[in-house]
Amino acid sequence: MSPKSYILDPSEKATPVMLGTPDLLLWGDLVTKQHVSITGFMNTLAEDFVPVRDAKVLFLAPAQQAAPLERSVVYVKLEKILLFFSMGEQAELPEESEVRRYEPIEAIVGPFQVEGEIVKSPIATLQNLLLVSKEAYMPIYKATIRHVAKPWLGTFTANMVQLRHNRVTIALT
């Protein structure tokens, strides 16, 4: 797709994003109001279907590699989104303090493996953090993402990736 298939209102912005579902890797533009932070979008503003504009859809079929499909807009069911990150607007990393520290972790969500760091209190256990978290998507900072079954995809990096909390498995590195 050459020029954008949509026109932004002056109060809107387009942020390049990538998201993964059990069956797809999808990237394109997320259109939001200018003041919206992408870091909080999934837990606060995302509706049941997330529209991705000027999208490229790569099917993660078991055996074959196919070129991505290009579509002007794709609506992705929120509960199907396993991982989400901005490829444009970089999340500001939280600073460490006496009450919050980075802890390296490995997360597995569907077919994706994510290595990065989680921010937690030094006195809380990781298990307690996972048990009390009520957000649908949890942030992993300084993340490296790979698709376990598709090494040809390579790796992706992001300051912050958001993982579907009810689908994640965490391992300490």
pLDDT digits (tens, 9 = 90+) for 6-48: 999 999 999 999 999 999 999 999 999 999 988 889 999 999 9
Backbone angles phi, psi at 31, to 5 degrees: -95, 125
**pLDDT category of residue 63 using cuts at 50, 70 and 90:** low
Token code pair at residue 154: 């390579």
The position carrying tokens 């390296």 is 104
Alpha helices in 12-150 (DSSP H): 38-44, 126-132
129 sits in which H/E element: helix 126-132
Centre a 10 Å sphere on the Cβ of residue 51 and count the other Cβ atoms it contains: 15
**Residue 83 is which amino acid?**
L
Whether 65 has a pLDDT exceeding 80, the answer reads: no
Dist CA 44 CA 37 (whole Å)? 10
What pLDDT sits at residue 90?
78
DSSP 94: P
